[in-house]
Amino acid sequence: MKNSEDKIMLGHGSGGQLMHKLIEEVFIRHFDNPILKEQTDAAILTTGTEQIAFTTDSFVIDPLFFPGGDIGKLAVCGTVNDLAVSGAEPLYLSVSMIIEEGFPMKDLETIVASLAAEAKKAGVLIVTGDTKVVNKGKCDKLFINTAGIGRIKKEDLLISKALNLMPGDVIIINGTIGDHGMAVMNARESFNFKTTVESDCASLNHLIQNLLDNSTAKFMRDPTRGGVASVLNELVQKIKLGIEIDEAALPIDRGVKAMCEVLGFDPLHIANEGKVLIVASETEGLKILERLKTHELGKNSAIIGRIVSDYPGKVVLKNETGGRRIIDTLSGDQLPRIC
């Protein structure tokens, strides 16, 4: 880092440019190894002749309970999805809890039951864990870390590496964007928007497995923190091609759209917890779209854009009047406008 006075700011954890810089300049610099350098959602490891995917994620969400889920459900979905988008079949999870002294036992049990229910739904076993209790005020109620292991079939090994992407390839998403971020924000802040927006928090492994078994996707990633914009920007950096998104094609819930209009947010920057972005050739893409639409978690799937040879390294949004603008990653926390 450039200055010994520098401190960690909230923006360093928000999935935008600041966080990428931190990862590059501190974590990767010290941990330096070829597996980590791939920077995929899950590390791909070889044991004997088998490939496994290994990932971890921490959950510090506030509030612990929100429309559409709670921290327990989220802790399973997050890790299961990181494995699933890497082309792996999620098998085992660990769950570690850091609990604040005085936390209600009843709430803990509700959250643990929710972890168990979601694990069952996703078909994974929670096989190990850890418990720490800290003094009151030393953590905010409850933090959860989960790690997960999954098995990868040889043919699905390259899915997270974004190889062979070409102009004309289509970009698909399995439904509306920004639901999780706006549902949590509405629950946390004092806006009191009267809205039915719920978190999309869901384990996507069954949906993704179905796709992998029946079609060929070139790339998959779950657009969580930093939203769709973050994933697409990382992708264009890697492939040295451009992406053009069609604004009219973006599936956005009315409530999410309205909240974003009022607060000055871009839904493309808002977090999702039950979405996957898929890149495929046009022919495969159309098949994938049809298949997705038959699944409960893919009813609102849509082709939202394409890989293009114009604007290499940039994600461009085409609006309905034909105007174009850049979609950048967020540079820090997304802040509401003031007037």
Q: Which residues bind another protein (CB under 8 A)?
A: 7-11, 16-18, 21, 189-191, 254, 257-258, 261, 263-264, 311, 314, 316, 319-326, 328, 331-333, 335-339
Distance, in Å, from the CA atom of 199 to the CA atom of 205, rounded to the nearest integer, reads 18
Closest CA to 148 of 253, 68, 48, 41: 41
Closest to another protein by CB, 7 or 30:
7
Query: Minimum CB separation from another protein for residue 140, in Å?
Result: 15
Closest to another protein by CB, 44 or 241:
241
Closest to another protein by CB, 23 or 316:
316
Place of tokens 């995917």: 53
Query: Minimum CB separation from another protein for residue 188, in Å?
Result: 11
Please check whether residue 136 is in contact with residue 101, taking contact to mean a CB–CB distance below 8 angstroms: yes
Closest to another protein by CB, 22 or 91:
22
Query: Minimum CB separation from another protein for residue 231, in Å?
Result: 18
Distance, in Å, from the CA atom of 254 to the CA atom of 267, rounded to the nearest integer, reads 11
Query: Minimum CB separation from another protein for residue 139, in Å?
Result: 17
Query: Minimum CB separation from another protein for residue 320, in Å?
Result: 5
Closest to another protein by CB, 295 or 328:
328
The H or E element spanning position 146 is strand 142-152
Closest to another protein by CB, 136 or 188:
188
Residue 135: Cβ within 10 Å count: 9
Distance, in Å, from the CA atom of 63 to the CA atom of 155, rounded to the nearest integer, reads 40
The one-letter amino acid at 24: E
Query: Sign (positive/negative) of CA torsion 50, 87, 76, 138?
Result: positive
Distance of CA 33 to the CA centre of its chain: 24
Query: Minimum CB separation from another protein for residue 236, in Å?
Result: 13
Please check whether residue 293 is in contact with residue 299, taking contact to mean a CB–CB distance below 8 angstroms: yes
The H or E element spanning position 131 is strand 125-134
Query: Minimum CB separation from another protein for residue 293, in Å?
Result: 24
Closest to another protein by CB, 70 or 179:
179
Residue 206: Cβ within 10 Å count: 16
